Structures are given as structure tokens and as C-alpha cells.
Structure 1
Amino acid sequence: MNPTVRVIPTGTRSTSKQGLDQFEGVSAQSVGAVGLCAHLLAIPPGARAKAHRHSGHETAIYVIEGETEVWFGEDLASHAVAVAGDFVYIPPGVPHVPVNTSDTAWARALVARTDPNEQESVELLPHLDELPHLTGER
């Protein structure tokens, strides 16, 4: 097969293993990518992902709209806030949870990962999902 440029219209919406809406973009499945995937992510007001990590793969996120908190690290004890226009880098294997703390506004982001198979490297961490700072029981 000759390499060629492909234009992918915003794809079909699906729910990721992490429990969030995503819209298909570039991946091994959509275009035969061999080193990356990129897709759009939408987090409804008040929603969050399931605790997870991406074993062996880096993630870069560009926040298009809204604001999210990201809990990360051992016991998800570290915290950062990302707003529209910010980039977020998540190293391979780092546990994390993005949270949309707004009651009214969606958060939307472009997510790129060094895993061309999109969901292959997702490892859910259910033992972290009930931590008090994630459930509002502060």
C-alpha cells in the first residue's frame, strides 16, 4: 500500500473504557496508524472518567473548551487544573482521572496518544474510583 494523506471527518461517538464520550479520529483502526491515535473527548458537566492509566504510552491533551481538574499519581493525590487553551502531558503508566467540575459547561479536548490502537493500553484502576476526593466526600 502506498502511503497517502487521509482526511477523517469527526467520527462516530463511542464510550471509552474510561466511561467518557469520544469521537473517532486517527487510529490503527480508522487509517492504519502505526504510532499514534488522536480523537476528540467530551466530558459532560459534573462527570469524570474512571481511574485509569495507559501502560507504556504517553498522552498529550489540548483543552478546547471548558475546565477540568486532573487527579493523578499515587492514590491520585496530586491535582492540576487545565482550562481551554492548555496542554496536558501524562507520562506512561501514571494513574489519572479527569473531572469536569462545572455544573453547566461541557469540557472538550483533543487527545493524542502513542498507542495507535486507541483503547489497548487503557488499564482501569477501580480501587481508586472510590477515593473521597473523587466522590465528593471530602
Structure 2
Amino acid sequence: MSDHEHEHHGHDHGHDQGGEPRWKYDGVRVIKGDQLDPNTAQTPGMFRQAAINHARVGAQKIWAGTVAIEPDAKTGVHHHGALESVIYVVSGKARMRWGERLEFVAEAGPGDFIFVPPYVPHQEINADPANPLQCVLVRSDNEAVVVNITDVDPVEKPEAVYWVDPIHKDPAG
């Protein structure tokens, strides 16, 4: 196994037994696009894959991965607590609605970045009824935080089947 393929598991991030700094072996990591981890919260209409997280590379303060959203799919209204999120649109057409009544709207296309500040109520929408939306998602923490907001009547109604999983709870209870 060459040095660039060398992996250590279960070691601390200080020094190894030889007294050498851990970064000599566990420094920069490359996660190949065909080796993303689908073992993350999944929801109907959306497929997430983790690239960078604590389990895969020991990341302490960041999560990054991809998300593919089916044509015309929409989330319910939610926010991500104290987390900051960045979405990079690879292909497709994203629509974001936000505000206390989702009164604000913006759209993004390939090459555009979307920043979602902490605690902002929002709704994520694939604005294309025929093509999937492919994005790269980066969050400011490894812990997935989603707070569903059920007392807002969204301008764009979510799918009849809500995205329900450990992150996105069923708004009906």
C-alpha cells in the first residue's frame, strides 16, 4: 500500500507510537466521487451521500456530501438550528423559499451557491418538473439538525408524501 493510500483507523489525532505527527499519515484525504457513503439520512424524493464527516475522515466541524432531488420535489418548512449550510448547484434548477411565511424566493442554477444562515425557516424545491437537481451540500457541523415548522402554510405545498426520516420528522406527528 502506498503512502497516499495508507489509512489508519481508531487512532488519536495527536501522535502515533513512533512519535511522528498524525498528519503525516492522516493529513489530506481524497474521497473519490464513486466512493461516497449513502449511509446517511435518506428521504423519499432525495438521495444524500456523505463524502466528508466524522465517521469517514474524522471531521470535527463540517459535513459535506451530495444530494440528488427528484423532479418537482419539495420539502416542508424547516430550519437547521445553529448550523450554516452551503449548497452548490451542479445541475438543475433550485428554488429556495424562506421567511416567517416563506415570503421570499430565489432561484439558483448550475454553478450557483446558496447560503442558508442559522435558524432561517426555509423550503427547498426542485423547480424543474422534468429533471433532477444535483447539488453539493456543506454544513458547519457533523450533527444533522432539522427543526420542522408546522404552523406555516407554505406558498408551494410540499409533496403529499413528506420526507420523513430521523432528520425530517412527519409534521402530522
TM-score, normalised by the number of residues in structure 1? 0.84
Percent identity, aligned pairs only, is 28
Answer yes or no: is the 8 Å Cα contact 1:52–1:125 preserved in 2.
yes
The corresponding residue for 1:30 is 56
> Gapped runs of 5+ residues in structure 2?
1-11, 13-21, 159-173
The corresponding residue for 1:92 is 118
Q: Does structure 1 residue 46 correspond to structure 2 residue 72?
A: yes
Q: How does 1:1-138 map to 2 (within 5 A)?
A: 1=12, 2-3=22-23, 4=26, 5-8=28-31, 9-12=35-38, 14-16=40-42, 20-117=46-143, 119=144, 121-128=145-152, 130-131=153-154, 133-135=155-157
- CA distance 1:94–1:17, change in 2 (3 Å): farther
Greater C-alpha Rg = 2
Q: 1:24-54: per-residue Cα shift (whole Å, max 9, x none)?
A: 2211232221111111011100101232111
Amino acid at match of 2:29: R
**2-side partners of 1:87 and 1:55: how far apart?**
20
Amino acid at match of 1:135: K
Deviation at 1:134, TM superposition (A): 1.3
Amino acid at match of 2:149: L
**2-side partners of 1:64 and 1:71: how far apart?**
19
- CA distance 1:63–1:11, change in 2 (3 Å): same
Greater strand proportion: 1
> Gapped runs of 5+ residues in structure 1?
none
Q: CA RMSD in A?
A: 2.1
- How many residues get paired? 132
**2-side partners of 1:13 and 1:72: how far apart?**
29
Amino acid at match of 1:124: N
Deviation at 1:16, TM superposition (A): 4.1
